[in-house]
Amino acid sequence: MLLFRVALTSALLSSLLFSQNDLKVTPGFDLSAIDRAVNPCDNFYRYACGTWLKNNPIPADQSSWGRFSELAERNRVILRQILEQAATIAASGAAKVDADTQKIGDYYASCMDRKTIDAKGLTPLQPELDRIKAMKNTVDLSEEAARLHRIGVDVLFNFSSGQDFKDSNAVIGQADQGGLGLPEKDYYFRDDPKAVETRKEYVAHLARMIGMMGVPAATAQKQAAEIMALETALAKVSLDVTTRRDPMAVYHKMKLSEFEGLEDSFSWSRYFALIQTPPIGNLNVASPAFFKGEEPLLKTQPLAVFKNYFTVHLLQSMAMNLPTKFDAENFAFYGKFLTGAQEQKARWKRCVAATDGDLGEALGKAYVQKTFGAEGKQRTLDMVHNIEAAMGQDLQQLTWMTPATKQKALEKLHAITNKIGYPDKWRDYSALKIVRGDAMGNSLRANEFEFHREIEKIGKPVDRLEWQMTPPTVNAYYDPQMNNINFPAGILQPPFFDKQSDDATNYGAIGAVIGHELTHGFDDEGRQFNPKGNLEDWWTSADAKAFESRTDCLVKEYSSFDVPGGIHMNGKLTLGENTADNGGLRLAWMALMKDLAGKTLPPKDGYTEQQRFFLGWGQIWCENDTPEVQRLQAQTNPHAIAEYRVNGVVSNLPEFQQAFSCKAGQPMVRGANSCRVW
């Protein structure tokens, strides 16, 4: 799904990857992936992955294909087995079916039932479409915005809950920008030929969606252009992705009345009544300028434009459970044009993803029972402790930080908590009604359940046991406000973590991932939060300056990397992730060296322990991408593309250069230009 509805809190979560994307289990260390024709000191990524890249073209239903996707695909097959079994059990009417199995089975079976979905046509959405059509004034518009938000449709702005940046024990309301159909603000304003083409294609897509509602082509064209103009006006007052990485730029706490005054043409009292929020005292308004900028639009834009805008966003958001033609049209733009995927994913893959999205912890419980053993948890925990110890040692040894700030950094490090595998307390879905044969209704109710679950948190104590990713997810994250690192069961498998493999490759792979998440607590964003997760400056100004001069080095390094289509990586947008990659690999290295101290192991498969460590890192990133996806990633994503995640890091590390006997002047040796923060 490409309609980004990024809540403020998840915008702050620093994850390892962009998105969730043969049953063959790939080993943690893969000799057959290596391309020996490449000199590792010229291009380590091509050396570690070259043969893999040649042998693993992107499948037609994907826009990128790498080690993450291989594992995600394998997880998907396991989830499919669980769901097909649950669907059969749920249909059996047996008395003893547990509630979770009943729900995931019915949900999946309904999603897979394309025939019923097509037969129902637009009927399941008709009440919503009628309400939009009947809007007569801004009060109606405000009420409809509330209804659409409840069912997960992104229009006008976003409202949710989140921890107060300056008081992580308090959950408050969060109002944020939103309502765009293109991935990001700058998509509306860049003037290179590809950007112009993208806007043209987007408007054509909107017109086709409107046309499918029976509107004549010429009228549909005109309406699409008006929607585009409205979204462009919203984009104009939005913050861009790079700015939004700065917590201070998205923190403006105010009284409810003050917030409402920013956009007083909107009927906030009706809106809040309909979303059923608990009493709101103060709230965080991520971008007051956005709401101020939206106000004149409510006055000047005809209601008809809002009606068409609401309708199209509703159709886009629900396309998967609408008749095939809507679904295909949505894919044609968001899948094919924007990401370069050639064909829509098989229905079962999408229904697995939808069940994971809507009932993730009910499905995750079954997944964990099937795949995740106590041994995996224990070995991961041991590695986490070793890498935390390495970070402590690294902090002590730093030459650029004063003792006072070091002390504070150590306090923060020791306060970090770990969550491994799956939640201790599973989510209770009993309030969510799932009806077999009602795919759209299930999706709408699940979105409402989720929206309500978030809104309900306002004014309540923070739930520190909650997870932001489901157990099968092949990803990991650091949460600056919780000050915790989280590793779902889905990533604790080969090639990231391989029980059969030696420590060297495991440290280079999952060890570096652990180090990556840990370092996020100390990147340009994470360092602004204290041990308790509150936004508070605990740095002396001299130390902050020293930090910034070091991160400037990374900004320059990664900004120099090209992406096809004549664009560069954005060194500022990717700074947090690059800091985490560079720090994370170094911490994993330190932990491995401590493990190996005094031991000289004979080479294995022709590689020393040191070389195997770096190959472990290189090979988790083997990945083919379409040019479209690389462009999208470079322009919207805080993560560098795979090749640079590998080469950008090793070229800064003398330890790598020593392991592969690289010489000064070779591309993987930055020498005096090497960057190092942690």
Q: Which residues bind Zn ion (CB under 5 A)?
A: 14, 16, 577, 580
Nearer to Zn ion, 150 or 520 (CB): 520
SS3 category, 251:
coil
Please tell me the total number of residues recorded for the chain in this structure: 678
Nearest approach, Cβ of residue 581 and Zn ion (Å) = 8
Nearest approach, Cβ of residue 589 and Zn ion (Å) = 18
Nearest approach, Cβ of residue 105 and Zn ion (Å) = 35
Helices (H), 1-98: 8-12, 44-55, 67-92
Residues 6+ apart with CB under 8 A from 636: 4, 183, 184, 241
- Separation between Cα atoms, residue 448 and residue 431, nearest integer Å: 11
Nearer to Zn ion, 16 or 444 (CB): 16
Tokens of residue 591, six digits = 């932990």
Nearer to Zn ion, 518 or 650 (CB): 518
Which helix (H) or strand (E) segment is 350 a member of?
Answer: helix 347-371
Judged on CB neighbours under 10 Å (0-12, 13-18, 19+), 374 is exposed
Nearest approach, Cβ of residue 484 and Zn ion (Å) = 14
Nearer to Zn ion, 17 or 148 (CB): 17
Nearer to Zn ion, 457 or 639 (CB): 639
Other CB atoms within 10 A of residue 623 CB: 25
Nearer to Zn ion, 13 or 320 (CB): 13
Tokens of residue 475, six digits = 């990803």
Nearest approach, Cβ of residue 13 and Zn ion (Å) = 9
Nearest approach, Cβ of residue 478 and Zn ion (Å) = 7
Nearer to Zn ion, 71 or 155 (CB): 71
Judged on CB neighbours under 10 Å (0-12, 13-18, 19+), 605 is exposed
Other CB atoms within 10 A of residue 196 CB: 11
Nearer to Zn ion, 543 or 577 (CB): 577
**What pairing do the DSSP bridges indicate for beta strands 417-421 and 484-488?**
parallel
Nearest approach, Cβ of residue 424 and Zn ion (Å) = 24
- Separation between Cα atoms, residue 675 and residue 678, nearest integer Å: 10
Nearest approach, Cβ of residue 617 and Zn ion (Å) = 14
b/e string for 98-132 if b means 16 or more Cβ within 10 A? Answer: eebbbbbbbbbbbbbbeeebeebebebbeebbeeb
Cα three-residue angle 218-223-228, rounded to 5 degrees: 125
Nearer to Zn ion, 187 or 497 (CB): 497
Nearer to Zn ion, 146 or 585 (CB): 585
Nearer to Zn ion, 9 or 223 (CB): 9
Nearest approach, Cβ of residue 584 and Zn ion (Å) = 8
Nearest approach, Cβ of residue 577 and Zn ion (Å) = 5
Nearest approach, Cβ of residue 513 and Zn ion (Å) = 9
- Separation between Cα atoms, residue 50 and residue 40, nearest integer Å: 11
Nearest approach, Cβ of residue 15 and Zn ion (Å) = 6
Name the β-bridge partners of 133: none
Other CB atoms within 10 A of residue 427 CB: 18
Residues 6+ apart with CB under 8 A from 10: 468
- Separation between Cα atoms, residue 655 and residue 587, nearest integer Å: 12
Nearest approach, Cβ of residue 16 and Zn ion (Å) = 5
Nearer to Zn ion, 64 or 102 (CB): 64
Question: Cβ distance 142 to 271 under 8 Å?
Answer: yes
Nearer to Zn ion, 128 or 479 (CB): 479
Nearer to Zn ion, 8 or 16 (CB): 16
DSSP annotation of 567 reads: E
Residues 6+ apart with CB under 8 A from 355: 79, 83, 104, 107, 108, 111, 363
The residue nearest Zn ion at its CB is 14
Question: Cβ distance 565 to 509 under 8 Å?
Answer: no
Nearest-CA neighbor of 473 among 18, 2, 11?
A: 18
Nearer to Zn ion, 420 or 580 (CB): 580
Nearest-CA neighbor of 575 among 512, 507, 631, 522?
A: 522
Other CB atoms within 10 A of residue 37 CB: 9
- Separation between Cα atoms, residue 332 and residue 337, nearest integer Å: 6
Nearest approach, Cβ of residue 624 and Zn ion (Å) = 21
Nearest approach, Cβ of residue 482 and Zn ion (Å) = 15
Tokens of residue 136, six digits = 């007569």
**Angle between helix 403-415 and helix 374-397 axes, rounded to 10 deg:** 170
